[in-house]
């Protein structure tokens, strides 16, 4: 299978995992999608997706992107120093136990970047969940050269597509200095992140069959496991009503 290059959308990406107070996730989702989504984009960010973690009822996961590290600093300063965040930050922060689990990432290649999404749903528009997004995070042992990233791109993505599971993005650590220190990111780590999407009609079963196959174990899991420093993290994510990635 030949991988088709496309212009990189959001060369800088944050993967943000928030631990919330018990029972407060829906409160944050409602506030986020009603009051905080468009103002962030107006400041120059791209809201790539928001999700409920299907395995952790008090975890909210979201992705946002930027054109580069300089524009990231400018956009974050405009939003977090602006009137919208001042008006809603106390309510938002009251839902959170921890908001510092943040990976700063970049696509592994042009074909590993995020696709252009369909138009976002309007607030209040019915939004049945028809897909699950699965994020897999490999924490690697030592400095990352191009081989594991190229392997994930050239081998795993075609296997996923052949199994009827949509590869969404392949990401790796962005090691540029954090240009907005008021929001910390996890530093000193090497990670690879794969995001895939499957539908509710047999998609989970197709993914499970692929991942239990000999070819997947030999061509994907074994090489990545050899480079991994910690157990793999798997996030099964349900898009929120206004998530662009859904």
User: Is residue 194 within 8 Å of residue 153, measured between CB atoms?
Assistant: no
pTM to 2 decimal places: 0.91
Q: What integer pLDDT is reported at residue 127 of this predicted model? A: 66
What was the pLDDT predicted at 152? 72
Mean pLDDT by runs of 10 across the 246 residues of the chain is 58 98 98 97 97 98 97 98 98 98 92 83 73 94 73 83 92 95 94 92 91 92 81 94 94
Which of 165, 242, 168 shows the shortest CA–CA distance to 201?
165
Output DSSP code: residue 32.
I
Q: What six digits make up the tokens of 14?
A: 């944050």
The confidence score (pLDDT) of residue 120 equals 85
How much is the pLDDT for 241? 94
Comparing CA positions, the residue from 243, 191, 186, 232 lying closest to residue 64 is 243
Which parts of the chain fold into alpha helices (H)? 25-31, 37-42, 69-80, 83-93, 146-151, 157-162, 203-211, 214-216, 222-226
């Amino acid at each position: 299978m030949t991988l088709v290059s496309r212009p990189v959308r959001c060369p800088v990406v944050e993967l943000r995992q928030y631990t919330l107070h018990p029972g407060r996730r829906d409160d944050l989702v409602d506030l986020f999608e009603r009051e905080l989504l468009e103002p962030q984009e107006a400041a120059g960010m791209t809201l790539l997706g928001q999700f409920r973690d299907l395995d952790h009822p008090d975890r909210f996961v979201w992705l946002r992107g930027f054109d580069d590290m300089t524009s990231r600093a400018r956009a974050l300063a405009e939003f977090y120093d602006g009137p919208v965040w001042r008006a809603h930050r106390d309510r938002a922060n009251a839902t959170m136990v921890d908001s510092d689990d943040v990976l700063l990432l970049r696509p592994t290649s042009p074909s590993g970047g995020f696709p252009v999404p369909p138009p976002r749903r309007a607030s209040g528009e019915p939004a049945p969940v028809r897909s699950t997004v699965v994020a897999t995070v490999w924490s690697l042992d030592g400095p990352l050269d191009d081989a594991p990233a190229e392997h994930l791109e050239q081998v795993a993505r075609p296997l996923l597509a052949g199994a009827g599971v949509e590869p969404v993005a392949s990401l790796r650590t962005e090691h540029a200095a954090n240009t907005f220190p008021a929001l910390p990111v996890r530093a000193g780590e090497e990670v690879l992140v794969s995001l895939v999407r499957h539908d509710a009609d047999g998609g989970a079963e197709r993914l499970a069959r692929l991942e239990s196959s000999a070819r997947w174990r030999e061509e994907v899991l074994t090489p990545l496991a050899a480079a991994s420093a910690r157990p793999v993290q798997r996030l099964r994510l349900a898009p929120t009503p206004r998530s662009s990635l859904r």
